[in-house]
Amino acid sequence: MKVLVIGGGGREHALVWKIAQSPKVTALYCAPGNPGIEGLAECVNIAVDDLPALLAFAQKQAIDLTVVGPELPLTLGVVDLFQAHGLKVFGPAQGAAELEGSKAYCKMIMEKYSVPTAAHRTFTDAASAIAYIEAQGAPIVVKASGLAAGKGVTVAQTKEEAIAAVRDIMENRIFGTSGDEVVIEDFLKGEEASLLAFCDGKRAVPMVSSQDHKQVFDGDRGPNTGGMGAYSPAPVLTDALTHEAQRLVLDPMVRGMAAEGRPFVGILYGGLMIDNGQIKVLEFNVRFGDPEAQPVLMRLKSDLVDIMLACIEGRLDEITIEWHEAPAVCVVLASGGYPGDYTKGFPIHGLDRVSDPDAFVFHAGTAKRDGAIVNTGGRVLGVTARGASLQEAIDRAYQNVDLISWEGAFCRRDIGAKGLKKR
Ligand code: AMP
Ligand code: GLY
């Protein structure tokens, strides 16, 4: 099979790494890819939102399966376009991708199908949103409804902060049309976990659990980022709670979306808040998490291509998905200053020193310049390792992190620590 992966971040490097292991795959392409992916797939310089060029490439190469990594092409309808031209593609169609593309739509669906989530209201004008905040008080959470690259959520500790967020979104338009609507919801306390599931339109099969680290600094301090590291499994999601999440969250969502005439095929990612054994949904994403994909895919024993084909063909019930017991940890190395401004173009040293067979360095924001690998993004590398225990996986990840350096590089030093406390 000829396979095309769309995307060029750490998640896509992990997808390519796993797909390349499938005996079914005879040729592997990635658009646009990155220097890490180059060793495993042929990178083609097409942007993830250039749908006509992606389609033309897939047709010319007679691609048998296209796998969509990021949310943007999904919300733009890349799946619908490929299907209309008779091409096999893994991911939700545009209507189903609206679960991530519109938080207002997502909340409406959760409410309609009784999926537990924070109480909320949706607003299309700033004055009513502000009046609601005045009445509700703080803490309170303000979300731009549309895509905002993970930056559209403000967890406000004061009314003033919440009102400023509404003004930024709706009046200063800092996220453009993604701020046409805002969702304002109750603050939820607890511990977060990510539960991703393979979906075939009729059923959801959960993957092993994982936990992201959204804030930039140790101890969950500082501003939110795209994710500074992840590990799997996340002991906060016990087997009993995973079972509850299937019953209360995944099953009703998949059944609900089918009833809406928007069957969900692809990866449904539930961002969950767990408090005293109670699960509430913070959000849904319609694709693998980044960096959750890195440790989760490292733990997948089964052939990912087989699973994706079963999803597309509506026969997830016919296959068994197997996982490695060994925990895995991904530590993100970021550019100094991220998630604020940072300097690009520093040569990265030490990549060739990583030779541990139980560790792998996934590239995210890198480029090749004059023969050297340099940093070009905020999140640059995801150093991922497995171990017999979570502690061993953490130690191995950091041993390999410490082999790599560039000017300003930093990482969190406590990835996985919450998981250790639970033992
Ligand atoms: P979201 O993109 O909706 O997942 O929000 C990003 C992050 O904001 C989440 O991972 C949480 O850390 C935080 N967050 C979102 N909604 C809430 C909420 N209702 N209560 C507390 N924290 C939240
Ligand atoms: N790690 C969070 C996300 O992928 O949205």
| Strands, E assignment, 258-378 | 265-275, 278-285, 328-334, 359-363, 366-369, 372-375
Q: Ligand 1 within 6 A of 74 CB?
A: no
Q: Ligand 2 within 6 A of 292 CB?
A: yes
Average pLDDT over residues 51-73: 98
Residue minimizing CA distance to atom 1 of ligand 1: 283
Question: Quick one: angle between helices 94-101 and 103-112, nearest 10?
Answer: 100
Q: Which ligand is nearest to the CA of 281?
A: 1
What's the 156 CA to ligand 2 centre distance in angstroms? Answer: 20
pLDDT in tens, 306-315: 999 999 999 9
Q: Ligand 1 within 6 A of 271 CB?
A: yes
Bridge partners, residue 217, by sequence: 221
Atom of ligand 1 nearest to the CA of 185: 19
Q: Which residue has the tokens 């511990």?
A: 191
Q: Which residue has the tokens 């004061």?
A: 158
Average pLDDT over residues 178-205: 96
Residue in 392, 191, 386 with CA at minimum distance from that of residue 296: 386
- Is the pLDDT at 145 greater than 60? The verdict is yes
- Is the pLDDT at 148 greater than 70? The verdict is yes
Q: Give first-to-last CA distance, the chain, whole Å.
A: 43
Q: Ligand 2 within 6 A of 100 CB?
A: no
Bridge partners, residue 210, by sequence: 194
- Contact between 103 and 123 (Cβ < 8 Å): no
What's the 370 CA to ligand 2 centre distance in angstroms? Answer: 32
Average pLDDT over residues 268-285: 97
pLDDT in tens, 234-245: 999 999 999 999
Q: In what order do the strands lie in the sheet with 191-200?
A: 204-206, 191-200, 265-275, 278-285
Q: Ligand 2 within 6 A of 283 CB?
A: no
What's the 202 CA to ligand 2 centre distance in angstroms? Answer: 24
**Domains plus CATH for the chain?**
2-91 (3.40.50.20), 125-180 (3.30.1490.20), 191-318 (3.30.470.20), 328-421 (3.90.600.10)
Structure tokens at 385: 């390792």
Residue minimizing CA distance to atom 2 of ligand 2: 289
Q: What is the pLDDT of residue 216?
A: 96
Question: Quick one: angle between helices 10-19 and 304-312, nearest 10?
Answer: 100
Which DSSP string corresponds to 288-320? --TTTHHHHHHHB-S-HHHHHHHHHTT-GGG--
Q: Ligand 1 within 6 A of 184 CB?
A: no
What's the 214 CA to ligand 2 centre distance in angstroms? Answer: 8
Q: What is the pLDDT of residue 423?
A: 52
Residue in 100, 113, 83 with CA at minimum distance from that of residue 150: 100
Average pLDDT over residues 106-126: 96
Q: Ligand 2 within 6 A of 12 CB?
A: no
- The single-letter DSSP state of residue 43 is E
Average pLDDT over residues 260-269: 98
- Contact between 296 and 19 (Cβ < 8 Å): no
Q: Ligand 2 within 6 A of 387 CB?
A: no
Average pLDDT over residues 309-335: 98
282 in helix, strand or coil? strand
Q: Which ligand is nearest to the CA of 153?
A: 1
Q: Which residue has the tokens 């767990």?
A: 274
- Is the pLDDT at 66 greater than 80? The verdict is yes
What DSSP element (H or E) covers 241?
A: helix 239-245
Q: Ligand 1 within 6 A of 148 CB?
A: no
Average pLDDT over residues 281-287: 97
- Is the pLDDT at 294 greater than 70? The verdict is yes
Atom of ligand 2 nearest to the CA of 289: 4
Cα separation, 30 vs 43, in Å, equals: 5
- Strand duo 2-7 + 27-32: pairing: parallel
Residue minimizing CA distance to atom 5 of ligand 2: 289
Q: What is the pLDDT of residue 224?
A: 87
Atom of ligand 2 nearest to the CA of 292: 1
Residue minimizing CA distance to atom 3 of ligand 2: 289
Question: 51: left (phi > 0), else alpha (psi -120 to 50), else beta?
Answer: alpha
- Contact between 170 and 146 (Cβ < 8 Å): no
Mutate to test the pocket of ligand 2, among 15, 212, 213, 294 (most ligand atoms within 8 A of CB): 212
**Average model confidence (pLDDT) for the chain?**
96
What's the 116 CA to ligand 1 centre distance in angstroms? Answer: 14
Q: What is the pLDDT of residue 150?
A: 75
Average pLDDT over residues 304-324: 98
- Contact between 258 and 200 (Cβ < 8 Å): no
Q: Ligand 1 within 6 A of 147 CB?
A: no
Tell me how far the alpha carbon of residue 315 is from its chain's centroid. 24
